[in-house]
Structure 1
């Protein structure tokens, strides 16, 4: 008990107490005693207050300027976006006009049926008919966070996100099941289409899509649905539902309408003029 009492009574080392006493006796401790020292201290306080005041004033002056520049940038983005949308609409109208003229020219030359078939299979022509509608969505708990592999992280919010490879398997499964035309969120797929990822976004032909992902496939609806769900890619989608909470619904439809692909450009292939070649 005596040791504890000594520690409580002498919490500060005796040497520190003696040093403080000597400084106090010599007039070195406490506030400045001379007029010059007090003036220096006052000048320092005034300078510090001046710096703070000037900084606050500059911040108040700069705030409206920054807000104005930000609004101008937003307005410029909106104008450019509207202009791009207008140009894209004009391009689509011109493309439709060119397609109509091509079909008219082919009808005149007697090649309409074959041209229509080629246009349907290539994705260059809008189509409609029976088929299936497949809607794939992220799990309810999924978020946009996470940079790792969604099938290897422990965070459920990452594993519950639909990824580009998931949509690749869905589309390939529908083709294999007998689909004659496929689109995702209104984007028509062709033999040149690519489904990729950019961060958390899924791109179809470099156009970002947002969930839910609505996949339309034209074909024999009942047969297409059964073959897809019983195939390897349909079972893969079912496993995503069971294990990661990804949501998917499939239904047969009597009439689906799929748009034409925005552009079908062949850069390498050439039509063959020889007969009997393979």
Structure 2
């Protein structure tokens, strides 16, 4: 306060006030250590100079460190060049692989599009094949070239014992019964497991009856697949059915019929087609409207 009143210059503060606390503590600690060491040496009579010179081993170590630093610097420069070359090579490989990847992605897209087109076409072809297979199965059923089963009627007819030849069952008698069954609604008919179809037939050879060219013997079992609730009744209503029952009563055939829940009929034997002509063709095989003058 007196300095401020009189205008005298401010006094400088001592070092222990202006020095940072951490620096002051470190310096004092080191000074005290040096002083303690010096006192020990003086007590022991050590008169060696307090100043020391660098030891030759320190010089060697410093030189070695310098050499190692130079080697490290050279290796660092070389490694930098190698790293730069490696980086450039990696970038080139990445760009090349990126181009290859684009090409492969384009091929994948093309193949995927082609696969979709093939799948759609395959589905269409499969639908056509399924439709054709259905039509073939239907045609085989209608023509008798496929085995079938279902409810129906089984009729057994035989000659009475001791009848003469003129009173025996003949091929035309069985043909009347088969025609009546088809007209009554039968879907498939067989005689003694010989399936009746358009290419088959019932023929007499002397006293033997042949169905599809194969001999059959009495009793004759006529199996017909159809609605067994109405088939026998509808047979009586047909012209052929009435004719058949007239033969049964007139020639005294042994006749029996039963409704069956499941009848199995084999397929008709296949026969090769011969001399087939279209329905709208003339006898020469040329369809109508072709080869004629307008």
- Could you report, residue by residue, the CA deviation over 1:174-212 in whole angstroms, capped at 9, with x for unpaired residues? 111111111000101111111110111111122111001
Which aligned pairs between 1:187-266 and structure 2 lie closer than 5 A?
187-266=194-273
Aligned to 2:136: 115
What TM-score do the two structures reach when normalised by structure 1? 0.51
Deviation at 1:168, TM superposition (A): 0.8
CA distance in 2 between partners of 1:123 and 1:107 (Å): 25
Deviation at 1:107, TM superposition (A): 8.7
CA distance in 2 between partners of 1:129 and 1:112 (Å): 21
Q: Secondary structure at the match of 1:135?
A: strand
Show structure 1 runs of 4+ deviating over 6 A. none
Q: Secondary structure at the match of 1:252?
A: strand
Which of 174, 182, 187 is equivalent to 2:181? 174
Aligned to 2:145: 124
Q: Secondary structure at the match of 2:230?
A: helix
CA distance in 1 between partners of 2:272 and 2:127 (Å): 23
Which of 163, 166, 182 is equivalent to 2:170? 163
Q: Secondary structure at the match of 2:160?
A: coil
Aligned to 2:274: 267
CA distance in 2 between partners of 1:221 and 1:268 (Å): 39
**In the alignment, is the contact (CA less than 8 A) between 1:124 and 1:264 conserved in 2?**
no
CA distance in 2 between partners of 1:259 and 1:270 (Å): 29
**In the alignment, is the contact (CA less than 8 A) between 1:128 and 1:218 conserved in 2?**
yes
What TM-score do the two structures reach when normalised by structure 2? 0.49
Aligned to 2:161: 140
Q: Secondary structure at the match of 1:255?
A: strand
Higher RCO by CA contacts (8 Å cutoff, separation 6 or greater): 1
Kindly tell me the number of residue pairs found equivalent between the two proteins: 155
Deviation at 1:223, TM superposition (A): 1.8
CA distance in 1 between partners of 2:233 and 2:188 (Å): 17
CA distance in 1 between partners of 2:245 and 2:275 (Å): 39
Q: Secondary structure at the match of 2:180?
A: helix
| Cα RMSD, aligned residues only | 2.5
Deviation at 1:271, TM superposition (A): 8.1
**In the alignment, is the contact (CA less than 8 A) between 1:195 and 1:203 conserved in 2?**
yes
CA distance in 1 between partners of 2:161 and 2:274 (Å): 43
Q: Secondary structure at the match of 1:214?
A: strand
**In the alignment, is the contact (CA less than 8 A) between 1:188 and 1:260 conserved in 2?**
yes
Which aligned pairs between 1:24-39 and structure 2 lie closer than 5 A?
none
